[in-house]
Homo-oligomer: A and B are copies of this chain.
Amino acid sequence: MSTDQHKIPQATAKRLPLYYRFINNLHHQGKLRVSSKELSEAVKVDSATIRRDFSYFGALGKKGYGYNVEYLLSFFRKTLDQDELTKVALIGVGNLGTAFLHYNFMKNNNTKIEMAFDADKGKVGEEVGGVSVYHIDQLEDMLKNTDVAILTVPSSEAQNITERLVEAGVSGILNFTPARITVPDHVRVHHIDLSVELQSLVYFLKHYPLDEEE
């Protein structure tokens, strides 16, 4: 699986799913070819950056022509392991957790939320967005083949639950709590901190008048 050529820059790796989604759209629209310029306008990434990103995977395009949509799509499908399903567990069926269960992460995706956990017995046994909710005490029992967890618990619980997830063998956590969790080296955490996002947007608005920079 990870037989890959290894030096894809992180910044590039983060953009791949975005490219994939857009190429997929193009394909559905029946487009046959696309240039880095067109892609650039659609995904708001500089066209040179796109060409550079693609070039890490070899020569995917043709000079003077652009990229063949079908080829690009099948290439990215392989590269992003779109044919392999990654099982995801969601911990914490509160407002945000519930929203994610309803949110269709699956549309042309290789990930599926397979189960959810909550400490509230009132929620246990329910199905939310087609996903069964189990009690948090069952975490260790149920979490056998699950590599990825979405953490939407109250921040006070974040570290504690994280340790149980790691113990249960989870190797990737998407952390929506404001807490910065501590994990062993072999576990990867991506933080999405909603308040920070909003606050930093506000900071930029007030302190970085546009029209003159960036």
Contact = CB atoms under 8 A, between A and B. Distances in A.
Dominant SS at the A interface? mixed
B203 A147 contact: no
A100 B96 CA distance: 7
A32 interface: no
A195 B195 CA distance: 19
Copies of this subunit: 2
Given A102-B95, A105-B195, A80 B205 contact: no
B88 A95 contact: no
Contacts of A199: 16-17, 20, 80, 109-111
A4 B198 contact: no
Most chain B Cβ neighbours within 10 Å, of A88, A110, A194, A207: A207
A186 B210 contact: yes
Contacts of A205: 147-148, 171-172, 188
Interface string A169-188: 00110100010101001111
Contacts of A209: 2
Interface residues of A, number: 67
Interface in A126-154: 147-148, 150
A211 interface: yes
A8 interface: yes
B200 A187 contact: no
Contact of A200 (B13, B99, B201, B207): B13
A213 to B, nearest CB: 8
Interface in A14-42: 14, 16-18, 20-21, 42
23 contacts: A2-B207, A13-B208, A17-B200, A18-B196, A20-B199, A21-B178, A21-B195, A43-B180, A81-B202, A81-B203, A95-B99, A105-B194, A105-B195, A105-B198, A147-B205, A148-B201, A172-B204, A174-B197, A185-B210, A188-B201, A188-B204, A190-B201, A192-B197
Given A17-B199, A109-B198, 10 more contacts: A2-B206, A17-B195, A43-B180, A80-B199, A100-B194, A107-B195, A147-B205, A172-B201, A172-B202, A174-B197
